[in-house]
Chain A
């Protein structure tokens, strides 16, 4: 069990949020890479959404060819460093490692990847050059993993690319949403800078695209438009007291910590509502921000939690206390949060019902809501020609990620409902191919 004091300085903060997967040393990388079996048609490759040739880059590390390693990684995944640090490797590449079947520790693929990618960023390896000019322009909305990956791929095809970003920094949730003990701001920004320098796309910061007129202008000015805007704000619970000071969405809470570090607001007694990975992160971060107690209220059982097992373990390690099978009824307080009323739940014919008779109050000064992010349909709805399926998802054409019948292409969290960076990268690269085929007049 770990006790964290409220961080008072950047140094305190860095100590509380020290990396859970620290950077490998050269000798660690040599030892670890020499363990790899170099499987034929390796399962780790198939388990990676971007299909990095993992055995190849590990062999390249073991032979001291770090430039070759970097090329292998970045050719498949523009967010090679971020993914090495942030990916849920336990359920992806490392989960597929054949060593698991021998009850041996799987190869630490994530850390090896991050070791090689960090080296590449430090040495500024020249890996990419823009393609011969196509004399066509593509607008990319959103400078997150999807937007930047799409921009990179398009530049290599030779298209001119303008990226429009609402915030003042790139990499989206990598910067604003991923816990600092997984990746630091500096690491996230360095990778974006590395790519931008080599592939020369433009990013227009503080330029949200939100109005019909803006979309119309883009349509007139650009030959294709890629949308990689991720998800919206936290979904409201619609219970009493949600507007009290001290009640906030998990995305906003986490972003605040990423940007303000030790100066970010955090409660002494915190209740997090939700059972997903974002809830686990928010709870862990509240504990690392020095909360006396952190509770995690989830309306179903531990087994039904959508969060990855290891994310829950991370939260438990920092003393987060679970309150399974509880649902929030109301948040109490005069102007600030003073407590939250929770009711035990049970499942009656498939539906969850709260047992209000037996409700109880948990005194707290902060409630963090982590029950999901809003879809962006309101925004997408204003674009001419967008079609939605019965679940409200934009209808796209096969693997091209083209919004049916339009010059828009759309990928990443905005369309997959919220997934990993690696998924956004993989989709965006395919979307860039879709754009390329579209602009060549080959729409399949």
Chain B
């Protein structure tokens, strides 16, 4: 078994899997149960001025038989008295000294921030996470995502905390912003030790078309909530990558957003994360999923020969470039394995109506389609819609052209400049009409 232990901004953890701040970290009962199950650390449900919540609070999107592929909540921060939370953190730390407990905080004035930072550290918290991300309810009161959306304010609050904090400080960012690196840089300038992202995405989950009210419904009304779950993973991956690649941030990253299994975790680590935080998947399946996550990560590391998480953190960043740096002379073409094809012809419909008319219907009533190579632009669509694993493969078209990027072509002046320029890429391909 690989060594899964990590040190994140000076915080040691037996593995990179942390519970994100949220309903699963609302109490000592839950956090201790999670540690017993194998979770590495936990970010406590955000503490501040206790709130009053609504009923109901959650809504979800299902994809056919798959439940909760997207999830939303309008729950606020902890509704429990601060002293109860602090006492329970103290008890957890007594029983689990090796598992980091991070206190998530959301406060208003400088005095409040500095007071609660001291209280949390005194209770035994191993670090602090500043919640500048919550996009519903709290932001209307001048906290949460409004801070994450206003770099000046963010920097100021971080600096207040840094005046007092002795433990590492993590700033949790909101994705409800155009350029995620702006608040990340502000957080760095404020002096924080690490970044965590993403918080939930502001959203409406759907609308009850009988009663004309969005979900979740609270006595006939609804409001925008925070979107999370597997559906948000691609958004989170891109933002983690942007923060990791920014030359002006340079802080450890704890990734959050749709992580449900070991593979998700590996992907985030490859894009620069050191720890990952999980909430929705635990709300769906309970703490038991950690067994799959740690064993999957361990097997992956063994297979790849990675002796630590940090040894492969960021390994995919080198291969994540700007569009203009992609090789335009690289070409793939679809290839259908006739033996595996089941004749659903979904690829035909997709390519014919939604792509480049590069798939022909089988001859003599055969339901096995064929690729019309001169029309195929190598877009992948057919291989993505194909229900049979490995039936449609994208194969490299061999030619002797040297690699050339858009940037290089532009430098040579070898790009379309007029609306009907003969250099238009589409002129290479036939169209039916």
Contacts and interface: CB of A to CB of B under 8 A. Distances in A.
Interface of A: 30-31, 33-35, 37-43, 62, 98-99, 101-102
Contacts of B342: 98-99, 101-102
Interface of B: 63-65, 342-346, 348-349, 367, 387-388
Contact of B387 (A37, A41, A43): A37
A30 B67 CA distance: 11
Describe A's contact surface by its main secondary structure: helix
B343 A98 contact: yes
B64 A34 contact: yes
A39 B64 contact: no
A269 B54 CA distance: 69
Nearest to B367: A43
B260 to A, nearest CB: 19
Contacts of A30: 64-65
A39 B344 contact: yes
Contacts of B344: 37, 39-40, 42, 98
19 contacts: A30-B65, A31-B64, A31-B65, A33-B64, A34-B63, A34-B64, A34-B65, A35-B64, A37-B344, A38-B346, A39-B343, A39-B346, A40-B348, A43-B343, A43-B367, A62-B64, A98-B344, A99-B342, A102-B388
Contacts of A40: 344-346, 348-349
A41 B64 contact: no
A31 B64 CA distance: 6
A91 to B, nearest CB: 18
Nearest to A41: B345
B364 to A, nearest CB: 15
B65 A39 contact: no
A39 B346 CA distance: 5
B343 A101 contact: yes
A37 to B, nearest CB: 5
A35 B65 contact: yes
Contacts of A39: 343-346
Given A35-B65, A39-B344, A43-B367, 12 more contacts: A30-B64, A30-B65, A31-B65, A33-B64, A34-B65, A35-B64, A37-B344, A37-B346, A38-B346, A98-B343, A101-B342, A102-B388
Contacts of A38: 346
A62 B342 CA distance: 23
Contacts of A43: 343, 367
A35 B63 CA distance: 11
Contacts of B387: 37, 102
A420 B107 CA distance: 73
Contacts of B346: 37-40
B315 to A, nearest CB: 35
Contacts of B64: 30-31, 33-35, 62
Nearest to B385: A37
A103 to B, nearest CB: 10
B307 to A, nearest CB: 40
Contacts of A41: 345
A31 B66 CA distance: 8
Nearest to B352: A40
Nearest to A101: B342
Contacts of B63: 34
A99 B342 CA distance: 7
Nearest to A62: B64
Contacts of A42: 344
